[in-house]
Amino acid sequence: MGFVEKSFYCRNAHNVAEMPKLRVEYDRENCIGAFACMAVDPDLWKKNDADNKADLEGGKENSGKWVKEIECSEDLKEKIVASAEVCPVRVIKIIDVETGNVLVQ
């Protein structure tokens, strides 16, 4: 009996999946400077020594809110979401841009 090699078609989901796109909306005025966000994601949140509030790195002000859209990996998405969830005064909102789902209110 001869050896029959089976061939498999392997589809790597990471090659076909789209990168998550998030919209961060930050109500900076109501930040109390607890810096829990910064502890989770120090690349996205920076301490501003002038007023002891967090700055949204790369964010733009829009009608009193700071906003940033980010295309990211699934791992980074989890980190960004976690950095919003730990805010004690819930001033960080995260929206999935593709679906419109609010991930953190």
Q: Which stretch binds ligand SF4 (CB under 6 A): 8-16, 26-34, 63-71, 73-81?
A: 26-34
Q: Which two tokens stand for residue 60?
A: 């733009």
- Indicate whether 33 belongs to the interface with ligand SF4 (CB under 6 A): yes
Which of 19, 89 has the CB closer to ligand SF4? 89
Which of 7, 105 has the CB closer to ligand SF4? 105
Which of 36, 72 has the CB closer to ligand SF4? 36
d(C-alpha 46, C-alpha 67), whole Å: 15
DSSP state of 17: S
Q: How far is CA 26 from CA 4, 12, 19, 96, 101, in A?
A: 60, 35, 22, 15, 17
The residue among 22, 29, 34, 1 whose CA lies nearest residue 100 is 22
Footprint of ligand SF4 on 35-94 (CB under 6 A): 35-37, 45, 53-54, 87, 89, 91-92
Q: Which residues form the interface with ligand SF4 (CB under 6 A)? A: 31-37, 45, 53-54, 87, 89, 91-92
